[in-house]
Structure formats: structure tokens, C-alpha cells
Amino acid sequence: MSRINLAVLLVVGLLLVTAKQSMQMSLRNPTAEIETSNCKLTVLRVGLVFTSDRNEKAVIDSGLFTNISYVDIAGRRFHVGTLKNTPIVYVKTGTQTVNVATAVQILLLKFHISGIVFFGNAGSLDKTYVPGTVVVPDAVAFTGVWKWEKFEAENKGQLAFGHYNYPVNGENLLGTAAYENITLYSPSEEPKEVFWLPITLTKEAATEELTKGLKLKECHSGRCQAEFEIIYGSKASTSDFYVKNEAYGDFLVKEFDASTADSASAAVALTALSNEKPFVVIQGVSNVVGVNGSYPELASHNAFLVATTFIKSFPTQRLACE
Ligand SMILES: *[C@@H]1O[C@H](CO)[C@@H](O)[C@H](O)[C@H]1NC(C)=O
Ligand SMILES: *[C@@H]1O[C@H](CO)[C@@H](O)[C@H](O)[C@H]1NC(C)=O
Ligand SMILES: *[C@@H]1O[C@H](CO)[C@@H](O)[C@H](O)[C@H]1NC(C)=O
């Protein structure tokens, strides 16, 4: 087929896509595909993933998202559109790891996704971070997977409850908890037991270049301060419990060198790794464990801003020839 015909097809294809404004899409073929004699030009979308209404508000309020259509699957709405000019699908997963993993797996099965950009709020375990800081970790672990050992067991776990008796340390009937690995399944390797899940995109991409010159929102509750930092290469922890406890936060820092705690990132990482999809985790610090004050809007806003720069960096088309 000639170049001109292909161009005409492209235009017709785009018109068809835009004509479908905000209608429920066919589940069989949720993205636009243009066929040539033996090659298919497929639109690749970036999967934008977050957990909460607050995160979604940051996306909508930015005015950068253009709504084309949506698909409802398993109670989640997958919003198809563009962010600036990049084709995306976004989904609000709901909280807790099982909800997050389910939504990410559906996203990867039903759409042509080039990679996943996850952004969300997190608690900082590092007291030098202020709310509004954005953290782009290069590894995350499930730290809520425990083997709870018996009182006075021979094998002791890392977390010894007696060490935290108040006012004096001592023995405690709760014994100790040992941190467990998780099984990572993948299509090309045997299942393996891992603790840290590597966030490959952060390690590989010139991520600091990407966000250079980005200006994060600097004020919260009428108080303004110097520019917030973007911190790369830290370690993150995920569990299904919310960490408000300072002593436990300090333990996570000491034992695992974790800088943040949330309840979603590791679920995104595990699901993306199982599907061999590139992904990035972007965390806005909404509060610091053990310190008063919570700034969820600011955290979502700044994290989304960083997310937009990653979204731009993904390929948007794939030509697959027979
Ligand atoms: C997109 O449009 C649909 C249908 O009009 C609507 O249900 C959905 O909330 C819209 N999404 C956004 C992000 O505006
Ligand atoms: C977890 O897996 C790592 C390898 O990733 C291994 O070194 C470690 O011993 C395992 N820990 C447990 C508790 O099985
Ligand atoms: C934190 O807030 C609590 C009540 O909400 C208050 O009692 C406490 O003094 C505050 N701590 C600091 C360090 O401001």
C-alpha cells in the first residue's frame, strides 16, 4: 500500500476515534488499529494508575486530560483519552494491594499498553523529607508479609515486639515477626522468591534529565517554602496497613533502609514485572510518620506533575508486520 493511502487511512482512523467521543467502547478492540496489507499500526497507550479520588482530582484539575471514551470492567472504569498529546488509559484502582493488582492486570490484558506510570501518596519514614517532596524509588518490597513466630521460638523474626515495650523493653507474648519473600511469576522465567522488586525504568532511564526544570507547587495551607525536591533511587515499602506509628517507621528505616510507606506501589510493581512491562512508581509525600500534619492534595498534585514527564517518554505506536 502506498504512503498516501496509509496517510488517508490514518486520518480516517483518527476521525473514527474522535467520532466515538465518550461512548462505551467495544471490549474486543478498545484501541484504534489501522491495517495495511500485512502490517498493523497499533496505538500504544501509557497506563496511568492511581488509587484514590484525590489522585484523580489532580489529573482532572490539571486540564491536561482529554476524555475520549471509557470501558467498565470488573467495576473499574478505564478512561481512554490523551494527556497533552500522549494516548493514555487511566484507572482508579481503589486502595489495598489486591484491588490495585487486579486493576493493573485488567489494564494490561485489555489495552495495548507501552508502560505503566503509577503515582500516589505515601508517608515518609525519612524525617528530612517535607510534605510535597516527590520520591521516585528504584525498588519496593511488600513489608506486610509476615511469618509470625511463637513466643520464645528458636527462630526469631526481625521485628521483636518486646523491644518496644513501654516504658521498659522486655519480653512480650506477641513474640517476633519474620519478613517473608513473595513469589514473582513471569512468562520467561521460573517463579522465584524475592523481597525487593526492582523498578527497572527508574534505573535505566535518564530520569533526572526528564524532570529537570520541573516546578512543583510550593505552597500548602497558605504556607510557602523553597522548591520541593524530587528524590531518586530510594527504597519503598508497601503493606495493607497504614503506618502512623513512629517506632515502626524507624524500624523500617533501620532494617530495610526504606524511605517511604504506602499501600499500593509493590502491587503495581509485582503485576508489571509479571507481565514484563516497564513501569515507574512516583510517590508524593503527604505526611511524615510521627510528625503532625498531612497534605494529601499537595502530594497528589506534585506527584502527578512528575508523572506527566514520564508519560511523555513512552512510545505511542507500534508497527507489527506479519
Ligand atoms: C468521560 O466521559 C464519560 C461519558 O461522558 C464520563 O462518564 C466520564 O466521567 C468522563 N471522564 C472524565 C475524566 O471526564
Ligand atoms: C528471600 O529471597 C532472597 C533472594 O531474593 C534470599 O536471599 C532470602 O534468603 C530469602 N528470604 C527468605 C526469608 O526466604
Ligand atoms: C500533634 O497533634 C496532637 C493533637 O492532634 C498534639 O497533642 C501534639 O502536641 C502535636 N504534636 C506536635 C509536635 O505538634
Please state, in angstroms and rounded to a whole number, the distance separating the CA atoms of residues 89 and 66.
11
- In a structure prediction context, what are the per-residue pLDDT tens digits for the chain, which is 322 residues long? 344 444 434 443 444 444 334 444 444 444 444 445 677 788 999 999 999 999 999 999 999 999 999 999 999 999 999 999 999 999 999 999 999 999 999 999 999 999 999 999 999 999 999 889 999 999 999 999 999 999 999 999 999 999 999 999 999 999 999 999 999 999 999 999 999 999 987 766 556 777 777 777 666 656 556 667 889 999 999 999 999 999 999 999 999 999 999 999 999 999 999 999 999 999 999 999 999 889 999 999 999 999 999 999 888 887 777 6
Q: How many helices (H) and strands (E) does the chain have?
A: 8, 22
Residue whose CB lies within 8 A of the most ligand 1 atoms, among 24, 25, 59, 70, for a mutation test: 70
- 181 CA to centre of ligand 2 in angstroms: 6
Residue 221 carries which side chain, given as an amino acid letter?
S
Question: How far apart (Å, rounded) are the C-alpha atoms in residues 288 and 216?
Answer: 18
**The three cell numbers locating residue 55:** 489522585
Atom number, ligand 2, closest to the C-alpha of residue 147? 13
Cα-based distances in Å from 218 to 132, 221, 269, 294, 321: 8, 10, 29, 15, 48
Any residues with Cβ below 6 Å from ligand 2, and which?
180-181, 193-195
Nearest CA to ligand 1 atom 14: 67
> Is the previous residue joined to 131 through a cis bond, with omega within 30 degrees of 0?
no
Long-range contact set of residues 161-168: C-beta below 8 Å, sequence gap at least 24? 164/247
In angstroms, what is the span from residue 56 Cα to ligand 3's centroid? 30
Output the pTM of the full model. Answer: 0.85
Pocket probe mutation, ligand 2, options 159, 181, 192, max atoms within 8 Å of Cβ:
181
For the chain, how many residues are written?
322
Other Cβ atoms closer than 10 A to 178:
16
Question: What are residue 55's phi and psi, to 5 degrees?
Answer: -65, -40
DSSP assigned state of 226: S
Fold of 36-145+180-321: Rossmann fold (3.40.50)
Inter-residue contact 280 to 116 (CB < 8 Å): yes
Residue whose CA lies nearest to ligand 2 atom number 14: 181
Strand-strand pairing, 146-148 and 260-262: unpaired
Strand order in the sheet with 39-43: 33-35, 39-43, 317-321
3-class DSSP state for residue 264? coil
